[in-house]
Structure 1
Amino acid sequence: MRSVVVGYGSIGRRHSRLLDELGCQVSVVSRRSIDHPNRYPTLRKVFEDSRPDYVVVANRTSEHAGTLEELAQLGFNGPVLVEKPLANTPISLPAGISEETFVAYNFRFHPLVNDLRDRIEGEKIVSVDAYAGEFLPNWRPDRDYRETYSAHPEQGGGVIRDLSHELDYLNWLLEGWSRVAALGGQLSELEISSDDVFILLLETGRCPAVTVHLNYLDREPHRTVRVNTTEHTLEADLIDGSLSIDGALVSEYDLERDATYQAEHEAILNEEYGRLCTAEEALDIMGLIDAAEESASNYAWVEK
């Protein structure tokens, strides 16, 4: 399969490597001069050479919408995987975009998240608390954090977008959000202009009380979700790969860092789309982010 990765930052390099390992013929679109045998300066140049079968959009978040528009103009109707989030601001999908356009919320392919999903099936959920935090300067040790897209809201940075995996998997587990209240912004002494803390309170289809804490500040990475049902307390730790029920360990997963990304690509290559985040679902996450930012500005609940 002929695949194209648009963008060659850290995540673009990962997608390129994984697709190569999966046996794809990989081309890369990058404005920079990079060490890749099939580098093209523009997407149009790729299409002039040979029409791809699969496109991964991994450039800056602020450039995603323009890339989707270009794919529509080029008449591409194959599968597209867009890095999360779908865009830095709410958008309308361009007319003619492929129906097989998905967004890379790869936690849907994490066996721990799927284990949790199976175990709460049929349970009455009372409360959910999710927490994700990691110190931004440690994210990319080879780069000055102040120069990364994460530091700049106009490039799609900010913790509520960077850690929107939590918003997606909670939406997926809990049948969608209905209203949100939030606090957050640039609150620490990190030298960035994007938000570094966001705390959300949600109502969802399956749970009346959901809290989500996201930050760029935890010196020791922390990523957990606790679910209280009428029968049990379940806690998943996505750092150590463990699931406990009522304090007792029931599952452990030793997962390679690339495993969920690879599983996501394999699902697309095998046309097994059931677990993938659709563009429409990703737009709903963008709506939630927009509503949370509105709530934080106005100190008020925002309905969907």
Structure 2
Amino acid sequence: KKLQITNYKLQITKLALNILKQFDVVFVCSPNHLHIKQAILAAQAGCHLFIEKPLSYNLAGIDKLYKICIQKKLINIIGCNMRFHPCLRFIKEYLDSQKLGKIYSISHECGYYLPYWRPGIDYSKNYAAKKSTGGGIILDGIHEFDLLFWLNNFNQVRESKFVYGQVGNLKIETEDACVAGFKFNNKVLGSVRCDYLQQSYSRTCKVVGERGNLEWNWSENIVWLRTKDENKKIFQVKNWDVNQMYIDEIKYFMACVRNNRMTFNDISIARKVLKYCVHKK
């Protein structure tokens, strides 16, 4: 009002586009429903993109964004920092080396209590609690879906089933718990269980293979190989700072930008995971 601007959308869009043209890289770390709109604006300005997960809360505009990135040769990544956790990277390398033999199943679980997640903020008014802003544990827990697809080398999904709902007493608009199952073309069975309800933070990964099971628990930061005859600690991280995976992720992205090399989780890849999550909501 002080500036006597009446058409806010038009004026702000022009201003933002002009400002963005000064930059090489833009980080989109806003509520889920704003990601694509803001990313398109940045891409039109010629900026490389780091988009926080999830890519979006639906599929609208994603193909347009990707087309702009291809035309302008923009490096882009969807921020899935769990891929940079040293234990999960070890599991990925172990599976790719085929040391576990044929893989039968991959399971991921993550749970935490939503009211504890962001101290000082009313959880019921946060984006996670609202449908209109792309909230809900399925999209908040997309890390686990991403890890499942990543560990299985993005093998094509043959069947999938989601069961979810409001099973707790949080009084939010969105689902607070989900159990999802997948059957892939390579016959691997995948499962994801996530919720906003666990009083104690929990995050695990279990891979069942021909030569044993690999198991990881966030609280231990140890990868175990369990067989009929032994439980063997095959990898461990000591004195690890959780912020390191975010640092490593940004270093990786910036190296890709400097070397004009596409990332391992660009828009086209993240869309493969997102489409299952949004189609079930």
Give the TM-score taking structure 1 as reference length. Answer: 0.77
Q: What's the RMSD between the two structures over aligned residues? A: 2.2
Q: Which of residues 26, 33, 39 in structure 2 aligns to 1:62?
A: 33
**1:205 Cα deviation after fit:** 4.4
Q: Which moved more, 1:139-148 or 1:45-54?
A: 45-54
SS of residue in 2 equivalent to 1:156 = coil
Q: Which of residues 106, 115, 126 in structure 2 aligns to 1:148?
A: 126
Q: Which moved more, 1:86-95 or 1:145-154?
A: 86-95
**1:204 Cα deviation after fit:** 2.4
The amino acid that maps onto 1:163 is G
- The answer for the alignment partner of 1:109 in structure 2 is 84
Q: Structure 1: which 4+ aligned runs deviate by more than 6 Å?
A: none
Kindly provide the CA deviation profile for residues 190-233 of structure 1, in whole angstroms up to 9, marking residues without a partner as x.
Answer: 12111111100101244532111011111111100111101111
Q: Against the structure 1 CA distance between its residues 206 and 274, is the aligned structure 2 distance closer, same or farther, given a 3 Å change threshold?
A: farther
Is 2:240 aligned against 1:260?
A: no
**1:118 Cα deviation after fit:** 1.4
Q: Aligned partners of 1:232, 1:137: CA distance in 2, in Å? A: 38
Q: Aligned partners of 2:197, 2:27: CA distance in 1, in Å? A: 30
- The answer for the alignment partner of 1:34 in structure 2 is none
* Alignment: residue pair count: 252
The amino acid that maps onto 2:234 is V
Is 2:52 aligned against 1:83?
A: yes
The amino acid that maps onto 2:218 is L
2:222, 2:235 within 8 Å by CA — same for their partners in 1?
Answer: yes
State, as a whole percentage, how many aligned pairs show the same letter: 22
Q: Which of residues 204, 207, 213 in structure 2 aligns to 1:227?
A: 207
Q: Which of residues 245, 251, 258 in structure 1 aligns to 2:235?
A: 251
**1:46 Cα deviation after fit:** 7.2
Residues 154-303 of structure 1 aligned to structure 2 (within 5 Å): 154-176=132-154, 177-178=156-157, 179-246=159-226, 247-253=231-237, 254-271=239-256, 276-293=264-281
SS of residue in 1 equivalent to 2:77 = strand
2:183, 2:189 within 8 Å by CA — same for their partners in 1?
Answer: yes
Q: Aligned partners of 2:189, 2:271: CA distance in 1, in Å? A: 23
- The answer for the alignment partner of 1:52 in structure 2 is 23
Q: Against the structure 1 CA distance between its residues 201 and 279, is the aligned structure 2 distance closer, same or farther, given a 3 Å change threshold?
A: same
> Can you give the 5+ residue segments of structure 1 that lack an aligned partner in the other structure?
1-40, 294-304
- The answer for the alignment partner of 1:100 in structure 2 is 75
Q: Aligned partners of 1:173, 1:109: CA distance in 2, in Å? A: 13
Give the TM-score taking structure 2 as reference length. Answer: 0.83
Q: Against the structure 1 CA distance between its residues 93 and 49, is the aligned structure 2 distance closer, same or farther, given a 3 Å change threshold?
A: closer
Query: Which structure has more RCO (C-alpha within 8 Å, separation ≥ 6)?
Result: 2
- Bigger radius of gyration among the two: 2
**1:292 Cα deviation after fit:** 3.4
SS of residue in 2 equivalent to 1:218 = strand
